[in-house]
Structure 1
């Protein structure tokens, strides 16, 4: 939506400022080509996905909770509601962490946090549940939090669940682009989980425009805007 809004603003400027139509049209084409060809998308992703994010193996405790953040739902070719690619990576990494945790003979649970911001027939948490079961995570060790619509609500609602149990270790699983904002939101509620990155976005540089680069640019702009919003709200005392 950010790129669409940007395009709409350029279009409005072109309509209103007749004397500057040619340079505005040229700027619009150049800007969106830079996004689509990856040359602007790559530095935006570098800002949204800092390289210093932890890739160390997690440390499990006697009671460990693995927090899987929702990443949306989409329809496949058969019009079935499924997790998107990034969410599938989060499910896979969460299941592998669960298996590794169980090998230590610890008590382990997976908390799946994701509501229905897309207003689809099912929530993110409920859609992901069968995939975790296929990865051999027992239903008794899965906690569904299916009311969150934003990353902030993920943190708030998971904090309420965590507050009712005594966990010795918390592991947060999400994509690299969401991790910085997610950690800030969780720390608002006194939680400092161990980050476990499930996947990262990369721009493909070239001459020809690519739709994937536009998607990655939209994601990066969304996350950077979310970080700016967080710090603004913190400065005025809302967080």
Structure 2
């Protein structure tokens, strides 16, 4: 997988079947955080430049007190920016990157060439999760290398991502075994999504 800046994708001739934008943080009162806004804006820009004919926003809620899923807010932001609503798919039931991938695979169906959009520190785990879910990731671009809320937060999230990669591996193995027996466990949770 080649991870690059989203601007590099814009300056190339690469085309995809869908752009998948993964949500990041939700802040006060469940409003999308600056990282989610930057990811969303990068996806909007890619769509406007014809990189793909559809845009999938993915992300649910991790806290019961939050009523509007990240993906819905991201889609609203895209529509407000002029993206036709019928070109936007919404996956709003996930609470983790692995669930983003699993739920998105159902929406994407037979889509062959997917471009993932997230922050640079998150792309590897997102790519592995989507491939596990059966979604072919043809490319990935980072909306930002570091979080817009500072270097300290970026370092904390890089460490968190290293731990989350192993946690997701265990979760994926559990789901895969459960699938073999026809059981669909809910292993979302708030820990290391």
> What TM-score, normalized to structure 2?
0.76
Equivalent position of 2:23 in the other structure: 70
Deviations 1:42-98 (A, max 9, x none): xxxxxxxxxx7334417215xx211111113212xxxx6432111111111101110
Correspondence list, 1:1-239, <5 A: 53-55=3-5, 56-57=8-9, 59-61=14-16, 64-75=17-28, 81-101=30-50, 108-119=53-64, 120-163=66-109, 166-193=110-137, 194-201=139-146, 212-231=150-169, 239=176
- TM superposition outliers: structure 1 runs of 4+ over 6 Å: none
Deviations 1:173-218 (A, max 9, x none): 1111110000000110222321011112179xxxxxxx94442233
Structure 1's unaligned 5+ residue stretches are 1-51, 204-210
The 1-side partners of 2:147 and 2:71 are apart by 26
Residue 117 and residue 81 in structure 1: after superposition, are their counterparts in 2 closer, same or farther (change >3 A)? closer
Structure 2's unaligned 5+ residue stretches are 177-193
* 1:238, distance to aligned residue in structure 2 (A): 5.5
Contact 1:73-1:118 within 8 A present in 2 as well: no
SS in 2 for 1:115: coil
* Root mean square deviation of aligned Cα: 2.6
Counting matched residue pairs gives 168
Residue 122 and residue 202 in structure 1: after superposition, are their counterparts in 2 closer, same or farther (change >3 A)? closer
Structure with bigger helix share is: 1
Contact 1:67-1:173 within 8 A present in 2 as well: yes
Residue 168 and residue 237 in structure 1: after superposition, are their counterparts in 2 closer, same or farther (change >3 A)? closer
Contact 2:21-2:116 within 8 A present in 1 as well: yes
The 1-side partners of 2:170 and 2:107 are apart by 27
SS in 2 for 1:111: strand
Deviations 1:2-39 (A, max 9, x none): xxxxxxxxxxxxxxxxxxxxxxxxxxxxxxxxxxxxxx
Equivalent position of 2:186 in the other structure: none
